[in-house]
Chain A
Amino acid sequence: MRGVSDMTATSSEISQTESGPKANSIDRDDPATFPDWFRARKARSNLIVARWVPIVLVGLPVLVLFGIVVYPTIWMFYHSVHDTNMMRLFQGNWSYIGFENFATVLGSDRFWDSTVHLLQYLSFGACLQVVLGTVLALILFELVKNNALRTLILILLVLPMMMSPSIVGVLWKFLLTPSNGAVNQALLNLGLISKHIEWFNSGISLWSIIVADIWNWTALPLLIVYSGRVSLPPAVYEAAKVDGASGWQVMRRITLPMLKEVIAIAFILRFTDAFKFVDLVYIMTSGGPAQSSELPTYIAFQRGIREFAIGEAAAYAIIIFAISAVIITLFLKYLKRVLKAQGIA
């Protein structure tokens, strides 16, 4: 056995050494290989454009990226371990304080309350959006067979997403105004409630924001899942029909498993958005009343931009970054596993 394997090793070596020079044996000076004009041009440069063009084309985006991503990130990490605030920043006399900022953040009830709010928002906002979007997309695809009607419904469902979040915030603030808002008015007229509900009271205000966000963003997972469903191969569904599977069996065993990666992508998109979700909070409640609807990102914004506690805000940002990195990495790992199982990646 050993002899045989040795033999194959040597023979492969021989074939390598033989094929090596052969493959490169084009005579570049031979006029038959390359015409004169081509060699003249090759002698000047490998490029057909001036030498500075590629440097500028690649260099400019790199500069911009550095300016808006790399530099601020380094700046943030640097100031998270300093006692920087606006005054010290202008005076240039900030000093190193170790991890005191992190200790302040992690030691405050405000941070842990906002983390609970974030979890509420993730599970009832972002997750519900994906679940709702998936359900709506599949209902739309499976039950509405008329093409024109389908397009019309799709447009109607996507409209909220096309509105700017600030407008959505103002709109929902109006709708939920306790005294004369449309929602309370409608519920009263229907006899479902007997007196106004205070939508922006402590304990409810976060849920009001979540409802507005669901209205605003459910269309995104809907579009993603819908397009995923459209691109599934019809032949597989014919096969399932012939195999005798019922509609529910097809949905459970074939459609949903085949949409796993698409749904995972919808989750990733909504979760990344969740970590930078400030707009509706700012417009609808400003985190109130009494900080009862604050999210960590909103506090970072509040502390850094409005109260100029730059060091503490940087610590907030880094902690949020760490949490989001862990969650998104888990999703990406899952996505990779799903794709690998199908032999795609």
Chain B
Amino acid sequence: MAQVNLQNVNKIYRSGRTEVHAVQDLNLEINNGEFVALLGPSGCGKTSTLRMIVGLEEISSGDINFNGKRVNELEPQHRNVAMAFETYALYPNFTIEENLAFPLEVRGVPEDERRRKARDIAEILKLTSILDQRPGALSGGQQQRVSLGRALIRDPSVFILDEVMSHIDAHLKFQMLFDLKAIHRDLGKTMVYVTHDQVEALALADRVAVMSNAKLQQVGTRNELYNAPANVFVADFIGEPPTNFFQAEVSDNGGGLALKTKDGALVFHLTEHRAGKIRALGGRDFIVGIRPQNLRLKDSEGKSSAHTGSDVHDITASILINEYLGERSILTFANGDTKFRALVPPETRAAPGEAVTLGYRPEDVMVFDAQTEALID
């Protein structure tokens, strides 16, 4: 078991005269036994980060420590990490059983114990029926599970899992997320999980590290990322459907400070606390964000089902599109040139063109600085 610590880690790829700064000044502390997900879009540097932790990629500058010990110069063999690869990287000349057992084989574990452990892990990952086959005959999802199994069979200090669910079909993925969570709970090992899928990250991880453009944007629990996203990118990336953003400016209309969209169509009221902060910053431009699930339809009596008791404000808009998605519906609204979305129960009857009133709570309104895109909290 290990606590992993990354200090000012940089990765610069050079080829000829071009330089790519893939990871920039990354600081991350992964606690002993913690499950941390590295989440970000393609090309954000998450896989580079992970390869540096494993030791497959040289660190351009900065330090990586396992349990306080610097491992920069250690070869992967000596870092005692286990990794599941996105490209599977199975040994084509071995059977599945040999593939699973190879990490044990090189450690000199006796054959019968190797076989027993391989069968145990195959049981969990539903690979028992294909143990005698070779990787060439397997589907992508099966190979991916073998790759995961080869990582899980060992007793390393850190588990590194790189996009291990990307080729597994939705139904099996649901089961495997559950199994992986259970494995983590049973083993209590440090796990680092790289993914571009926020559902996987939020479902599995104790903490999620969101990366974008080679930089770490925010590290936090699900609730922190959801309710206090550090900047516009995190607010946009976390949550499905994405947050509604509006360019807004301050409108101090006597009754209290509010933010008005640029075209003047919508006005957002803020909590006293945030209003004070914005007042202190002066009359600059801001970005307002509000999550689709925090906008609630009001019925004809003007009551919003979920927002009882609190201070609810209204905005009006007309319905543009109604997308029915089974257990919920997404409504897209237009008010002037401004378009935004809200999540509503599937039974909602709403015809395009209909004008409706939506309620929101001031505490759900997120305000970002228009220049730095940082949250004002």
Q: Do A and B come from one complex?
A: yes
Spell out A's residues near B (CB within 8 Å).
233, 235-236, 238-246, 249, 253-254, 257-258, 260, 341-344
Q: Tell me if B77 is interfacial: C-beta within 8 Å of chain A.
A: yes
Contact in complex: A243, B75 (CB < 8 Å): no
Residues of A within 8 A of B137 (CB): 343
Complex CA–CA separation, A105 to B107 (angstroms): 58
From 100 to 156 in chain B, residues with beta carbon under 8 angstroms from any chain A beta carbon are 102-103, 105-107, 134, 136-137, 147, 150, 154
Contact in complex: A238, B56 (CB < 8 Å): yes
Contact in complex: A243, B106 (CB < 8 Å): yes
Q: Tell me if B233 is interfacial: C-beta within 8 Å of chain A.
A: no
Can you list 18 pairs linking A and B with CB atoms under 8 Å apart? A235-B88, A235-B89, A239-B90, A241-B75, A242-B54, A242-B76, A243-B102, A243-B106, A243-B154, A244-B80, A246-B77, A253-B102, A254-B91, A257-B93, A341-B93, A342-B93, A343-B134, A344-B136
Q: Tell me if B83 is interfacial: C-beta within 8 Å of chain A.
A: yes
Contact in complex: B87, A244 (CB < 8 Å): no
Contact in complex: A258, B93 (CB < 8 Å): yes
Contact in complex: B85, A239 (CB < 8 Å): yes
- Give A343's nearest chain B residue, CB to CB: B136
Contact in complex: A342, B87 (CB < 8 Å): no
Residues of A within 8 A of B107 (CB): 244
Instruction: Tell whether A242 pairs with B102 under 8 Å between CB atoms, given A236-B92, A343-B134.
Output: no
Contact in complex: B92, A241 (CB < 8 Å): no
Residues of B within 8 A of A260 (CB): 93
Complex CA–CA separation, A239 to B151 (angstroms): 10
Contact in complex: A244, B77 (CB < 8 Å): yes
Q: Tell me if B82 is interfacial: C-beta within 8 Å of chain A.
A: yes
Candidates B89, B93, B105; contact of A239 at CB < 8 Å = B89
- Known pairs A239-B83, A244-B107, A260-B93; list 17 more (Cβ under 8 Å): A236-B90, A236-B92, A238-B89, A239-B90, A239-B91, A240-B102, A241-B56, A241-B76, A242-B76, A242-B83, A243-B103, A245-B106, A253-B91, A254-B93, A341-B93, A342-B134, A343-B134
Q: Tell me if B6 is interfacial: C-beta within 8 Å of chain A.
A: no
Complex CA–CA separation, A258 to B134 (angstroms): 13
- Give B56's nearest chain A residue, CB to CB: A238
For B263-280 the 0/1 string (1 means CB < 8 A from A) is 000000000000000000
Contact in complex: A244, B103 (CB < 8 Å): yes
Q: Tell me if B81 is interfacial: C-beta within 8 Å of chain A.
A: yes
Expressed in whole angstroms, the minimum distance between the Cβ of B268 and any Cβ of chain A is 50
For B303-319 the 0/1 string (1 means CB < 8 A from A) is 00000000000000000
For B44-57 the 0/1 string (1 means CB < 8 A from A) is 00000000001110
Expressed in whole angstroms, the minimum distance between the Cβ of A256 and any Cβ of chain B is 9
- Give B133's nearest chain A residue, CB to CB: A343
Residues of B within 8 A of A343 (CB): 134, 136-137
Residues of A within 8 A of B85 (CB): 235, 238-239
Expressed in whole angstroms, the minimum distance between the Cβ of B169 and any Cβ of chain A is 22
Residues of B within 8 A of A235 (CB): 85, 87-89
Closest 7 CB pairs of A and B: A343-B136, A235-B89, A239-B89, A243-B103, A257-B93, A245-B106, A241-B76
Candidates A233, A249, A258, A342; contact of B106 at CB < 8 Å = A249
Complex CA–CA separation, A236 to B54 (angstroms): 15
- Give A249's nearest chain B residue, CB to CB: B106
Expressed in whole angstroms, the minimum distance between the Cβ of A163 and any Cβ of chain B is 37
Expressed in whole angstroms, the minimum distance between the Cβ of B4 and any Cβ of chain A is 15
Contact in complex: B89, A245 (CB < 8 Å): no
Candidates B81, B92, B150; contact of A258 at CB < 8 Å = B92
Complex CA–CA separation, A244 to B156 (angstroms): 10
Which of B77, B81, B103, B107 has the largest count of A CB atoms less than 10 A from its CB? B77
Instruction: Tell whether A242 pairs with B136 under 8 Å between CB atoms, given A235-B87, A249-B106.
Output: no
Complex CA–CA separation, A242 to B80 (angstroms): 8
Residues of B within 8 A of A244 (CB): 77, 80, 103, 106-107
Residues of A within 8 A of B93 (CB): 254, 257-258, 260, 341-342
Residues of B within 8 A of A241 (CB): 55-56, 75-77
Complex CA–CA separation, A258 to B135 (angstroms): 13
Residues of A within 8 A of B102 (CB): 240, 243, 245, 253
Residues of B within 8 A of A341 (CB): 93, 134
Complex CA–CA separation, A233 to B134 (angstroms): 16
- Give A255's nearest chain B residue, CB to CB: B93
Residues of A within 8 A of B77 (CB): 241-242, 244-246
- Give A258's nearest chain B residue, CB to CB: B93
Expressed in whole angstroms, the minimum distance between the Cβ of B91 and any Cβ of chain A is 6
Expressed in whole angstroms, the minimum distance between the Cβ of B79 and any Cβ of chain A is 8
Expressed in whole angstroms, the minimum distance between the Cβ of B38 and any Cβ of chain A is 17
- Give A257's nearest chain B residue, CB to CB: B93
- Give A254's nearest chain B residue, CB to CB: B91
Residues of A within 8 A of B55 (CB): 241-242
Contact in complex: A236, B89 (CB < 8 Å): yes
From 58 to 84 in chain B, residues with beta carbon under 8 angstroms from any chain A beta carbon are 75-77, 80-83
Expressed in whole angstroms, the minimum distance between the Cβ of B309 and any Cβ of chain A is 54
Instruction: Tell whether A243 pairs with B150 under 8 Å between CB atoms, given A342-B134, A342-B136.
Output: yes
Complex CA–CA separation, A258 to B150 (angstroms): 19
Residues of A within 8 A of B56 (CB): 238, 241-242
- Give B93's nearest chain A residue, CB to CB: A257
Contact in complex: A236, B91 (CB < 8 Å): yes
- Give B136's nearest chain A residue, CB to CB: A343
Complex CA–CA separation, A245 to B89 (angstroms): 14
Contact in complex: A242, B81 (CB < 8 Å): yes
Complex CA–CA separation, A198 to B92 (angstroms): 51
For B352-364 the 0/1 string (1 means CB < 8 A from A) is 0000000000000
Expressed in whole angstroms, the minimum distance between the Cβ of B320 and any Cβ of chain A is 41
Contact in complex: A246, B106 (CB < 8 Å): yes
Complex CA–CA separation, A184 to B80 (angstroms): 56
Residues of B within 8 A of A342 (CB): 92-93, 134, 136
- Give A232's nearest chain B residue, CB to CB: B92
- Give A236's nearest chain B residue, CB to CB: B89
Complex CA–CA separation, A244 to B108 (angstroms): 11
Residues of A within 8 A of B136 (CB): 342-344
Residues of A within 8 A of B134 (CB): 341-343
Which of A235, A258, A260 has the largest count of B CB atoms less than 10 A from its CB? A235
Instruction: Tell whether A233 pairs with B103 under 8 Å between CB atoms, given A343-B136, A344-B136.
Output: no
